[in-house]
Structure 1
Amino acid sequence: MTLIFDGPEEGPLFVFSHGAGAPLTSDFMEKVSVGLAEQGIRVARFNFNYMQQRVETASRRPPERAPMLIKQFDDVIASLKQPMVIGGKSMGGRMATLVAAEPTGAYLQHVKGIACLGYPFHPQGKPEKLRVEHLAAIKQPVAIIQGTRDKLGGQEEVLSYGLPERFNWLWLEDGDHDFKPRVKSGLTHQQHIQSCIDFLAAYIKDCLK
């Protein structure tokens, strides 16, 4: 598993995994990683195996099944063996929560917090297929950064799920699944990305102080 690092070597560590459709080099992953690095966070990015094969062969490959992705995430945690916050964009964030919800995780003692950037609460257009059952089992702090009009879980519907009150939330006004607001909102994508970075940097430092 190849890891790409940003930020100071001794900085608080954030293991950052990608979403289902874009690799660790995507514009979103780059912007957030560099922004966190500028605030003193050590960011470790990696591609899940299916994505690495997609990058190397330029072929379309669907994500592997969750147990395979969880195992790959566990392998990254095991290779680093130090206190860290784990998380990711969309599917990557979901996999981080599944890793944390596994009580038998061999290296779970190193995980001090979870951060989800655009959590996919349900598949698009299928609000009845919720992916929240395991979230209450997570013992570590959880932060979720979400656009208020995310089609995989907007603010109005998510607030009705009865999720643990201890979760840390950042709602990005009018943001979609990539945090992009509409022009008419008067807000910009860059503003929301920066708000995400600021919130995330403070959260990671707090979890690892």
Structure 2
Amino acid sequence: MAQELIEGEGPRTLLLAHGAGAPMDSPYMDLLAAGLAEQRIRVVRFEFEYMRKRREDGRKRPPPRAEKLEGEFSAVIDRHAGASGPVYIGGKSMGGRIASVLASRADDRIAGCVCFGYPFHPPGKADRWRTAHFNDFTVPVLINQGTRDPFGRKDEVQAHLTGDGPVVIHWLDDGEHDFRPRKSTGTTQEDLIELAARQTAAWMDGRNGSGEV
């Protein structure tokens, strides 16, 4: 399989990284990429080296140190920096976290960052926040987050963040880390992924509303 999957056409490009435990073509990533492409976003999915090796030999590996992942993501930005229109970076969970670190550094190659299910802290460990770099963002950042996400529920995040800075959080009602709501809501994972895709396109178009956390 190619190292990148590209779909959709439109005036902007999103470089989209996978999470720690699933590849770029997981069911979740397929749904998300399709939803974004429907919103006229050119989506470029790619895999970090450790995941490519797992695909080759079937052996599960943990992600390497963040510095290595950041370097690999930066190389992907290099490959697509000449795309017509603005280039955004982002990802699912760990992929979004790595993108957010890059968004905290001055980099004129990127226009913004979009995270889907940001891992604010490890589940059950709300004393270990992964937000120290949020004060250093140099581009706008959008986080699509389920209100029940064990990596950062709405009540926890709102109590932790002040709302200052270029961060917009779009809350997906009753969604968990993969945006799955409870059946009792009458809403499906596909519904929330589609909503996140629409919100992402609106944010890119400058229609993101108040920007409240």
**Is TM (by shorter chain) over 0.5?**
yes
Matched, 1:129 2:132: no
- Relative distance call for 1:162 and 1:42 in structure 2 (3 A) is same
Structure 1 window deviating more from structure 2 (58-67 vs 80-89): it is 80-89
Contact 2:120-2:152 at 8 Å conserved across structures: yes
Q: Could you tell me how far apart the structure 1 residues matched to 2:180 and 2:65 are? A: 29
Shift of 1:203: 2.2
Percent of paired sites with the same residue: 41
How large is the RMSD of aligned CA atoms in angstroms? Answer: 1.6
- Residue 93 of structure 1 aligns with an amino acid whose one-letter code is G
Give, as a single letter, the amino acid of the residue that structure 2 aligns with 1:2: Q
1:96 pairs with 82, 90, 99, which one? 99
Partner of 1:85: 88
Match runs of 1:1-209 below 5 Å: 2-8=3-9, 11-82=11-82, 83-103=86-106, 108-165=107-164, 166-206=166-206
CA displacement, residues 6-46 of structure 1 (integer Å, 9 cap, x when unaligned)? 012x5310000000000100111111111211221110110
TM-aligned CA deviation for residue 102 of structure 1: 2.9
Separation in 2, partners of 1:206, 1:30: 26
Q: Deviations over 1:43-80 (max 9, x none)?
A: 01100000111111111100011000000000000111
- Structure 1 residue 194: deviation in Å? 1.0
Distance in 2 between residues matched to 1:25 and 1:146, nearest whole Å: 21
Q: C-alpha separation between the residues in 2 aligned to 1:134 and 1:86?
A: 16
Aligned match of 2:210: none
Q: Which digits, 9 at most, give the CA deviation of each residue in 1:98-130, with x for residues without a partner? A: 112234xxxx21111110100000111211111
For residues 21 and 85 of structure 1, the distance between their equivalents in structure 2, rounded to whole angstroms, comes to 23
* Secondary structure, aligned partner of 2:108: helix
Structure 1's unaligned 5+ residue stretches are none
The answer on whether the counterparts of 2:105 and 2:138 sit within 8 Å (CA) in structure 1 is no
Separation (CA, whole Å) in 1 of partners of 2:39 and 2:104: 29
In 1, the alpha carbon distance for the partners of 2:62 and 2:201 equals 31
Gap runs ≥5 in structure 2: 208-213
1:206 Cα deviation from its structure 2 partner: 3.8
Indicate if the aligned counterparts of 1:14 and 1:204 stay in contact, CA closer than 8 A.
Answer: no
Deviation at 1:201, TM superposition (A): 1.9
Deviation at 1:163, TM superposition (A): 4.2
Contact 2:104 2:139 survives alignment (8 Å): no
Q: TM-score, normalised by structure 2?
A: 0.90
How far did residue 181 of structure 1 move? 0.5
- How far apart are the structure 2 equivalents of 1:204 and 1:51? 29
User: Which stretch has the larger CA shift, 184-193 or 160-169?
Assistant: 160-169
C-alpha contact (below 8 Å) 1:18/1:89 kept by paired residues: yes
Tell which deviates more after alignment, 180-189 or 41-50: 180-189
